[in-house]
Each structure stands twice: as structure tokens, then as C-alpha cells.
Chain A
Amino acid sequence: MSIPDYMQCAEDHQTVLVVVQPVGIVPEDEFFRIYKRIASVAQVSIRDSQRNLYIRYRHHYLPENNEWGDFQTHRKVVGLISVTTCGSAKEWPQTSDRFHSQKDVFGATLYDSRLLVFGLQGEIAEQQRTDVAFYSSYDVCPDVEKRVEDFVESIFIVLESKRLDRATDKSGDKIPLLCVPFEKKDFVGLDTDSRHYKKRCQGRMRKHVGDLCLQAGMLQDALVHYHMAVELLRSVNDFLWLGAALEGLCSASVIFHYPGGTAGKAAGRKPSLAQGQGQAADAGKRHRPGALTANGISADTSSEIGRAKNCLRPEDIIEKYKEAISYYGKYKNAGVIELEACVKAVRVLAIQKRAMEASEFLQNAVYINLGQLSEEEKIQRYSILSELYDLIGFHRKSAFFKRVAAMQCVAPTIPEPGWRACYKLLLETLPGYSLCLDPKDFSKGTHRGWAAVQVRLLHELVYASRRMGNPGLSVRHLSFLLQTMLDLLSDQEKKEVTQSLENYTSKCPGGMEVITLPDGLKLPPVPLSKLPIVRSVKLLDLPVSLRPHKQKGLLENNMSTKSPFIYSPIIMHTRGEERNKKIEFRWVQGDVCEVQLMVYNPMPFELRVEHMGLLTSGVEFESLPAGLSLPAESGLYPVTLVGVPRTAGNINVNGYHTSVFGVTSDCLLEGLPSVRTSGCMVEVIPSLPRLQLSTSLPRSAHPLQHSKEELSSSVSVQLFNGETQQLTITLENIGSEDLETLEVTSKTCNTKEKLFGEFLSWDLEEAVSQLPLKPGQSVTLTVNIKVRLDFSGGENLLQDLNDDGISVTGLPSSSPLRQVLKPRAETKPLGSESSKTDYNHVKTLEAVMTFKYSGGAGKVEGYYRDLTLGVHVDVEPSVFFTRVSTLPATRTRQCHLLLDVFNSTEHELTVSANNNQDLVLHASECQRMAIQVAKFDFDTLPQPDQEAVRYTNPKLLEEERLHTQASMINSTLGITWNIPSVRRQGEASVEGVLNQLVLEHLQLAPLQWDVVVNGKPCDCDIIADCKVGDAVPLEVKLTNRSKNAVGPFALTVVPFQDYQNGVKNYDLQDAVTFIGSNTFNIDTVNPTEDSVCMGALLFLYTGDFYLNIKFQDDNAGQGNEVPPSWFGLPSIHIKALEAPIEAGA
């Protein structure tokens, strides 16, 4: 007896052992099918007695163990069922012989036997035999169970007879000495008549009868016999059998107390058996011997006698087990019995939940020496220890022994190491080391566990799976090791692990599929999210020029926030929500989109990451993977992953994909709480066309100074003030959609400079007529850049102007100053050097042109794109007007504008104006030019509409008005300059230098006076002819253009003669007489009306006469209402001629 049956449990003592074996050639699967059916008959209720017989089946049993059958009867093979295939009647005799020889193996102990013959038909099969059953095939054998039951009953009859035979075997006859195999030689030559010897015989027999009673279902009888045996054997110090009697006592008590059985989960390996036992246990409970049944007192009469006395209390059972085991321990050859007793006791303790004591039993079991164990036995022993530890809840200890068993499977002494078994056992140890092969469990923070032990275990798993010839598993375990234990590995280990990982992946690349092991265990994929470690994920907006914008009118309601409050200081979102938060910007279908990851390499060597790409959902997305190489223990390193969304909708960036050391990983962000992100959901809008912009001017390197927005591109150019430059812009459709709409706007950047006229102007008509623009086509647009800035230096100069003595007065001078071409520059040099540089400095002017375009599906959705072009112009001063003044012209409707022109360039320059001769200016020369201009009627200018007036600041409105007036003046003047040497030309603007005073002078008075002499309208420089002696009709017409009624006025006409030498003669009573009054009265004139007053003159002599029309201030009180400049009445020059003689004659 060398091989322990670790599966034994206390209730096995009540079973009878039946061996089921194949005879001859029986297909294994067929045999086990039959075996299972046989084994299902694990408990048989015996007719008429209400007792149960429990059967334990074995298909393999050592005859050697059978020899211990007298010691413990449940070890004795009492039944044999042979299963055989017999094809023909010819084979039958041979088969029968074989059956008989097999019976001989267990020979003496057998109570009965059966032979199940399959396949035989015909004469032989028809004979009725109790010990042989014939079946035509393995599939047609409906009454196997019935047969087995009959067989069991026949065993019971033999058992019962033996029991009765032995039990009634009273003294008188000589009781044989039962002994175990190793004792036999000890008793040779012993005095068989001694009292001691007889007692020994009695005690042993009692014990044996107890066993038989237990098997026959007479539990209480058995207890009684065991007690007697214990007493007898104790008195003769027959320790081995005393132990057996004690154990029998324990077994019987256990069966009584725990009808559910003690095998527990451990028996799960043999499901049919366990099931059978389970049923048996249930049945046992129902028909417990001694229980009251419907039929009254059960057949087991012994049960009423001293039940309480004989049966051990649960807490005493272990004491007896301990005692029994200590007795077994005295015999080296009873090691197996001792070990099995330990196992049985542990199972009982497990039921009693006394783990500490159970562990002591196990500890003892570990030290039981069974002599030389084969490797297989060692493995079995360690695994059973592990199972038992597991049973009592010592999972760590269980794992420890399981690991030892695993190592034993591949011990160097084994010629053919069982790597597969080793691997399987190692896997079973995982829970004991609180290791779960799902990497998700490790993502919750720093690793906490028995790292050293776990790393070791993983290494062993890797090695075992490699030796098993499954590199895929090795890769999976190595990736797991690398992923979860990275922080705990030393640099050297990191190197080694990655190196071996690379070796394995060269044979079997690692992937993201779940590996299912043959026993159903699933190994989840291990994404290597720590190689490299990603710190943040940020979705990037498209470049400025490609960003889509939503049409304003189509803006959806943005107020759909969850909270009813416009603002709340409570931040409602959690981190998780933040990830799902939609990002403000949008991506466009078909355009390359970018996501920036901040990564770092935790390895002490360079890390090569291949095929790093994005994982997305929601939209068809073409990821464009990148490869990167991170230096050893790099700091944060930005990596940009790109891809192209192929459809529109909401895209969610779920994670990223890498390939490191041959392991491809899909790292999902939801599994990586340490990754910072500002949202991963972004809207992809339908595709839009894409424009590329190129210009005829060179690109400027530096961005605009005043513009905060990002610009697609910008150009820069240097111009003289007033110059115009053409800029040709070519727009090419480089996208895949038709360009359908194009709008161009421009915005001058907020410069302090006062700008006159339109800076940028263009005509879009032609370009628009070419739309829609197919991909690859281009369109051009010409933009005029015109710079007109005020370089005059603002108020200082105007101040100067006003203080100047020669300034203007509104009153007409006596003589017309045709030209004042005084060289001003010489007379009054322009201040100091510093002021000169003031005039010289270069001013910049910047504007942003925006090209708004759209097309394709995106246009339908209301999206467009912007292309911005920054225009930067350095403006150098050309000419400017340092001074401006007016002089009245000879005509009241005209005046002279005197401009001091300064050439601030370094070139010779020509200035010309409309209807005026050119003026040549040398560098830094200042000259005065006079231009005669008709006064302006500003009322004809378009009035700003009422709506605008209402909402605009009055000051702005005033400025606006001034500006339009000035530009009108400017366009009328049309002053241009030309630098022949560099072939540059441009306009010179007076707008900046015009002040209110000058404007007033240039403006037509609201009261318009028309004087008609002799039917001829007169003005200063028109000489009206008349004849002496003729009445000259004089008509004065007042047209009121002002807003208020004016008048009444009284006008006095004063004639005089100018001698052109400064002397004026007013004493002309003799020469001129008035017909009627020399005073005219004009009544009140309402706005827009006119009034005419008539008079007449009579010249008495020939000569040149002037008429001065003066106001007689009638209404002194109200005179202030009307400014004097409004009374710009022309002086009338009348030449009185000699009346023609003929006429007079």
C-alpha cells in the first residue's frame, strides 16, 4: 500500500468498493460511457430493510491495496464488473476466460462479479445467466442500471450474511487474527493461546464487524462495535488497529453528523461520483437509521440503543482523529493510512470551519514520509495539499503548493517535462497571489501587491507557455508583465523583458484578440499603454485658413445648456463628462485632422513605436499612422497623430493604436484615467472646397503688428503716400469640391493714422462670373492698394496757420491776387531737424482681406471658410501740405486755395493739379501753389439717411460730414505727384489739412446773391457795359439756401471809382444817379425761396465804375444770426461807354 487515495473522505468508510474494468479491447470512450452509467448507481435502497448501500466505483485499483481490506473493509474490492466487446460467438470462450482470470486478481475478497458483454448476438447471448449480461451494442443497453442494482443487492446479501456471521461469532470458536500485510511475519511463532493474543483477535474482529455494520447501513451497531474494539485494543496496545477503530468511530460519527458528506468541492473532479454521493447523502438524511418513518421504527433496531452515548460529539471527532493519526504515525508502513486519515480529518474540519486545526493536520501531512515517491505522486500530493488548503480558506498556502506542484511537473529529473500541466497549474495559482490577468485591474493607480512573487510567477508563466510551444501565450504574459509591473522592474530587467518580448513577437506578433485557453480561461488583451506613457490628448483645430465657420443666420440656438441659469459658479461636470464634452471647433470631412499627444518613454533605452494611429468611432475615419522613436527616459514629447474623416457626423477619439516590440495595442482612453484631455468629441462637417491663395507681391515674413487674429498669409509692400499699387491675387481651388460662392471683405486694422479714401478696392464681378470653380481651376482678382495718409503733423501746423498774419479773412480784398508763388521754404524753413524727421518717418498701414468661400455639401449645411490675407504697407511720405489758406478770387463763386507743398522725398518731384501747371519740387523743398477753385456746394452731397443719423454719435456724424466734404474737394482738385526718377506717381491729398475755417471759405454761402446789370449777370471779374445816359436796370436776387428764414435786409448801393493806386473815389454824385432809391429792401426770405429787388442807375459820364452793395443794418438785434461771410455780394464793375452818336443823332 504505497499510493494514497487523496480523494478519500470519512463517509467512504460506509461504501463498498466495486471495480469496473474493461476486458479485452474496449474503446476507451465507450468504456467510460458505460462506467458513468454504472457509477450513477451509487446508492441502492435495499428492499424490506430500508437500509442503504453505498457503492464506490473504481476503474483502476491496485491489488496491493486490496490486501488492506481486512484492516478497513472499504478498501476491499467486493464486486467486479467487467465490460467487454465480443464480436462473435467464436471469441466468446476467450472472453469468458479473460473474465475469470480478472476475477482471480481480486480473488478472495470478491463477493460477486458481473460481465457486461457488448456486440454479441445469437445463441450464446440468449442464454439467461445472472453473472453475464449481453447487449447488442453500446448504444442499446437500457437496463444496465437495473442490472447493476441487482448486482449491488446480491453484494448486500453477501455482506449482510458476513456481518451476521461475524457478529454472532461468539467466543468458543477461535477468532482468527486479522492483520495487515506487513504484520504477517511479526506474528509468526506467537503464542496464540495467550490472553493477550485472544484479546487482540477479539478487538480486531470487533473493529472489522464495525466496518461491516457501517457498510451494511447499521450505523449505530457500528458505533457500538467500534467502542468495544477501542477498549479491547487499547488494553493490548495494538496501536495500529486501535487507530483504525478510532478512525472508524470518527467516520461513523461524521456520517451521522454530516449527512451531506465532507467531500465538498474537492470531489468535483469526478462529477458522476459526486452526484451519486450527493444523492446518497440526501437519501441518507431521509432514511437516517433510527429516524421515525411512516412505517414506524426502522429496521435498524440498534439505532435506539444509546445513540447519544455512542456517537461522538462533533468537537470530539477531531480529538479522536488526532489520536488515531498519532497511532498510525508509529508505523512507518502505515504512512498511506495516516496520510489518508489526515486528509479525511481536514475535510471534516473544513466542514466545521476550524481552519487553524485543519492547517495543523495538513502541516502534519506534509511531513509524512511515504518513502520514495515518483514524480507523478509528488505532483499529486502537492496538488491535493493545495486543494485542501483551498478548502479551508488558506488560498495563499494553496497557491504556494499548487506552484510547487507545477514546478514538480517540469522537474529536471523528469524525462518528459509536462509543461502543459505546469502551465495549467500555474494559472490556477493566480488568484492565490491576487493576480488577475486582466490589465484593467491595474489601471487604478500604483501597483499594490506582492510584486516580487507576482513577477516571478509571470516569468514562470512566460517560460512554461514558451516551452509548451505557444509563443502567443508567452507574448501575452510578457506584455502583461511589462504593462503592470513596469514600475517594479529594474532597468536591467526592463531590458531583458523587452528583449525576450521582441524575440517572441518575431515568431508570433502580439495583438488585441482575446486568447481563450482550452479550459475556457480567457486572457484579455494587454494594451501597452505605458510604452510610451501618454499624458494628454488634445484634439487640434484645423489651420486658420481651413477652419469652417457657420453662417451667422444659420447659427443654432446656443442656449440649450442644462442649467436654467445663465451663469453658475458651481461647475457641474465631472472628469468623465469632460471627456465626452464636445469641443467647440469643427473638423471637415476630407481634410487632414490632427490630435496632439504628449508622451514620454519610461524605458532606459530608445523606444521605437510603430504604426501609432488614432482609434475613433462615430465617423468613418482614415487614420494615417506614424512611427516615432523616443529617446531613453524622455521628458514629455509631443506627437501629432493625423487622420482624415471620410464622412460627416460626430467623431469620438476613443484612444490610440501602437505597435511596440511587435505587440500591437489599442489603448482606450476610458481605461487610462491618468490621461488628461479637454474633450474627445468633435463635429465633422461635410466637405468644403479648399482655396490656395497666391499674390503678385512678395510674402511678408513678419505678421501684422496690429492684428491679433491668425492670418493665412500676408504681403507687404512699400509705397509713397498717395501712390496706388495693384495687387493680383490668384485663388486656386485645391480641394475636391466646387467653389460656389466667394465673398471678399477687407478691414483696416485699428491704426491711429487718419486714412483718406479707400485703402483697398477691387472689383469682384469678373471673379464671381467664373464660379463655380472646379477643383484645380483658379481665379484672379485685382486689388488696388491706395495709400493716402496725413503726414502733415496735425494740429501744430493748423495752429501755425491760424496765427499767421497772412491768413484768410472772409472779406473780399480789393484786388485779386492771382498767384502767390513766394518761395516759402526759404523764408520759413521748416523748424528744426527734429521736426523734419517727424515729417519723414515711415508710417505703416495694415489691412486684412477676408475671402469667404463655400461650396459642396458643407455649403448646404451653412458652412463657409475664410482665407485671410494681411496687407502691410509701409508708407513713405511723398508730398504734403504744410499750410493751407484761401484767398478770395475775383468771383464770389470762386476762391484761391493756397497750398504750401513740401517734398519730403529724396527725389525731384512734380506736382500737378487739375487745370493747373506743374510745379517742380526738389528734395525737401517747400513751395506754395495756388489753385483757383469754384466754391463748393456741399448741400448737393448725399445726406446720411435718417435711420443712421438717429443711431450715430453726433460727433461721428459731424466727422463723417467733414470727411465727405474734404474728399469732394480733394477729387475736384485732383492734385497728383510724379517722381520721374523712380517712375512713381500718386495722388496728394489735401484732406488732412483742410480745417473748418478753410472749409467755410470754400463753401458757397447759403445766401446766394445774384446781381444782374443790364440783363447780364455780373460778378467781380465781369465788366458790364452800359451806355451813358441809359438807365441801367439793376436786379439783386437773393436765394435762401439756408435752413432758416433770413431778412428783411436793406441794401445800399454805393458807387465808386478805383484809381488802381489805392485811392477810391466815392464822390460821384455828379456821375451816377439812381433812378429811384439807392436802397433796396428785401423782405424775409424763407428757406429755398428767393426774392428779387429791382432798381436802376443812370451813368452820366463814361468811365469805369464799381458798385459796392452794402448792407444797411436794419435789424441790429438779429444781425448776429447771419455770419458776415454769407453776404458775399460781388462788387460790380460797370463800364459806362459813350452813347453811340448815331443813336443819339
Chain B
Amino acid sequence: MEHTQSRDACWHSRHHSKMAVCIAVIAKENYPLYIRSVPVQNELKFHYTVHTSLDVVEEKISAVGKAMADQRELYLGLLYPTEDYKVYGYVTNSKVKFVIVVDSSNTSLRDNEIRSMFRKLHNSFTDVMCNPFYNPGDTIQSKAFDSMVSAMMVQAS
């Protein structure tokens, strides 16, 4: 029973997954704290994608007036679409950025679902920060965080 289910999941993952292909956490100073993508062999491409998306993130943050910073919504929405991917952004109040890249062909993914992914990511990140053995600014190596991210990502088939 389980076997068939998992095979089904694999079958659909290329086209109908509600999952991300790349998830990144960017520090306040705009360097990556964590970045993971599923087609591992093309990791560099996602590095470029996430890196360039920061321009938009910064622009969006600065667009909101400083006075409004408190009320600002953390979710930034679609940063920009490329031919193959859609890039979504989220900024915490401490200016830590989360970026989620999803396949453009993945039309079933609603804005609400993206939001909830970011919320999960944020919660897990908060847990990481609460770890007294974690130095803020270091790359994230938490296993719990990693497995949470894995759960949100497309399983490489």
C-alpha cells in the first residue's frame, strides 16, 4: 500500500508537486545561511537565481517607508518570474530573508500555500536561533531545520 503511494508521489513530483525546488535563508548582510535545491547537479544555477532575487527583495524592503516597517507584511510575494521558475520572498523583522523557488509549471500552487511554507520556515528558523549553541551569522547546520526543508522540497526522482 505504502509502496504504491510513494511511487505515485514520485510520478507526480515533476509536474504536480506542491513543493519547492530551492529554499534559501539569507542573512541580514545578504549572504546565505542556508541554501538547498533539489536537482543537486544544477545547484549553482539556483545560487544565481537566489542571489539575483535579493535585488528585488532589497528594493521591496526599501520601498516600504521606514515608519511603516512595523506594519510591513513579512511575505513579499512573487519576486520575479523566470522562464522556468517563480521566486518568492519573505523577510523577517530582523531582515533575515527566506527565498523559495518553485517550478513555473507548477500552477496548482496557491499564494496561501506559499505563505504557509514561509511560516513553517520562519518557525523552524526561530528554533534554530533559540539553540544556545548556534552563533547567529553562522551557516545553519541544524538537522531539524534540514529535515523540515526536505519535507517542503521536491524529492529528486
Which residues of A does B touch, CB under 8 Å?
355-356, 359, 363, 389, 393-397, 400, 433-434, 446, 448-450, 452-453, 456
Assess whether A396 is in contact with B137, with CB atoms less than 8 Å apart: no
Assess whether B80 is in contact with A363, with CB atoms less than 8 Å apart: yes
Chain B residues with Cβ under 8 A from A453's Cβ?
44, 47-48, 51
Chain A residues with Cβ under 8 A from B56's Cβ?
356, 359, 394
22 contacts between A and B (CB under 8 A): A356-B59, A356-B60, A356-B63, A359-B55, A359-B59, A359-B80, A363-B81, A389-B55, A396-B51, A396-B55, A397-B52, A400-B51, A433-B51, A448-B29, A448-B137, A450-B47, A452-B43, A453-B44, A453-B47, A453-B48, A453-B51, A456-B44
With A400-B48, A452-B43 given, can you name 20 additional A-B contacts, CB distance below 8 Å? A356-B59, A356-B60, A359-B55, A363-B80, A389-B55, A394-B55, A394-B59, A395-B55, A397-B55, A400-B51, A448-B27, A448-B29, A448-B31, A449-B31, A450-B31, A450-B47, A452-B44, A453-B44, A453-B47, A453-B48
State in angstroms the CA–CA spacing of A355 and B81 once bound together: 16
B89 at the interface (CB under 8 A from A): no
Assess whether B80 is in contact with A450, with CB atoms less than 8 Å apart: no
* Smallest CB separation, A1126 vs chain B (Å): 91
Q: Which of B41-59 contact A (CB under 8 A)?
A: 43-44, 47-48, 51-52, 54-56, 59
Pick the contact of A400: B52, B137, B138 (CB < 8 A). Answer: B52
Query: Interface residue count for B (Cβ, 8 Å)?
Result: 21
Assess whether B52 is in contact with A396, with CB atoms less than 8 Å apart: yes
State in angstroms the CA–CA spacing of A394 and B138 once bound together: 26
Chain B residues with Cβ under 8 A from A446's Cβ?
138
State in angstroms the CA–CA spacing of A450 and B50 once bound together: 10
Chain A residues with Cβ under 8 A from B63's Cβ?
356
Chain A residues with Cβ under 8 A from B137's Cβ?
448
Residue of A nearest to B30 (CB): A434
Which residues of B does A touch, CB under 8 Å?
27, 29-32, 43-44, 47-48, 51-52, 54-56, 59-60, 63, 80-81, 137-138
Chain B residues with Cβ under 8 A from A395's Cβ?
55
Assess whether B44 is in contact with A396, with CB atoms less than 8 Å apart: no
Pick the contact of B59: A363, A393, A452, A456 (CB < 8 A). Answer: A393
Assess whether A450 is in contact with B44, with CB atoms less than 8 Å apart: no
Residue of A nearest to B80 (CB): A363
Chain B residues with Cβ under 8 A from A359's Cβ?
55-56, 59, 80
* Smallest CB separation, B17 vs chain A (Å): 25
State in angstroms the CA–CA spacing of A389 and B52 once bound together: 11
* Smallest CB separation, B38 vs chain A (Å): 16
Residue of B nearest to A433 (CB): B51
* Smallest CB separation, B109 vs chain A (Å): 20
Residue of A nearest to B46 (CB): A452
Chain B residues with Cβ under 8 A from A389's Cβ?
55
Chain A residues with Cβ under 8 A from B81's Cβ?
363
Chain A residues with Cβ under 8 A from B29's Cβ?
448
State in angstroms the CA–CA spacing of A356 and B56 once bound together: 7
Residue of B nearest to A450 (CB): B51
Chain A residues with Cβ under 8 A from B44's Cβ?
452-453, 456
State in angstroms the CA–CA spacing of A396 and B59 once bound together: 12
Chain B residues with Cβ under 8 A from A355's Cβ?
59
State in angstroms the CA–CA spacing of A242 and B59 once bound together: 33
State in angstroms the CA–CA spacing of A448 and B43 once bound together: 18
A-B residue pairs, 6 tightest by C-beta: A394-B55, A448-B31, A397-B52, A355-B59, A396-B52, A396-B55
Assess whether A450 is in contact with B59, with CB atoms less than 8 Å apart: no
Assess whether B54 is in contact with A396, with CB atoms less than 8 Å apart: yes
Residue of A nearest to B63 (CB): A356
Residue of A nearest to B32 (CB): A450
Chain B residues with Cβ under 8 A from A363's Cβ?
80-81
Residue of A nearest to B58 (CB): A393
Residue of A nearest to B29 (CB): A448
Residue of B nearest to A453 (CB): B47
State in angstroms the CA–CA spacing of A397 and B55 once bound together: 7
* Smallest CB separation, B113 vs chain A (Å): 24
Residue of B nearest to A398 (CB): B55
**Among B27, B43, B48, B137: residue with most chain A CB under 10 A:** B48
Assess whether A452 is in contact with B27, with CB atoms less than 8 Å apart: no
Chain A residues with Cβ under 8 A from B48's Cβ?
400, 453
* Smallest CB separation, B29 vs chain A (Å): 7
Residue of A nearest to B56 (CB): A359
Residue of B nearest to A403 (CB): B48
State in angstroms the CA–CA spacing of A805 and B151 once bound together: 108
Residue of A nearest to B83 (CB): A367
Chain B residues with Cβ under 8 A from A452's Cβ?
43-44, 47
Residue of A nearest to B53 (CB): A396
State in angstroms the CA–CA spacing of A830 and B60 once bound together: 107
* Smallest CB separation, A463 vs chain B (Å): 15
Chain A residues with Cβ under 8 A from B30's Cβ?
434
* Smallest CB separation, B130 vs chain A (Å): 22
Chain B residues with Cβ under 8 A from A449's Cβ?
31
Chain A residues with Cβ under 8 A from B47's Cβ?
450, 452-453
Chain A residues with Cβ under 8 A from B59's Cβ?
355-356, 359, 393-394
Chain B residues with Cβ under 8 A from A393's Cβ?
55, 59
* Smallest CB separation, B79 vs chain A (Å): 10
State in angstroms the CA–CA spacing of A363 and B79 once bound together: 12
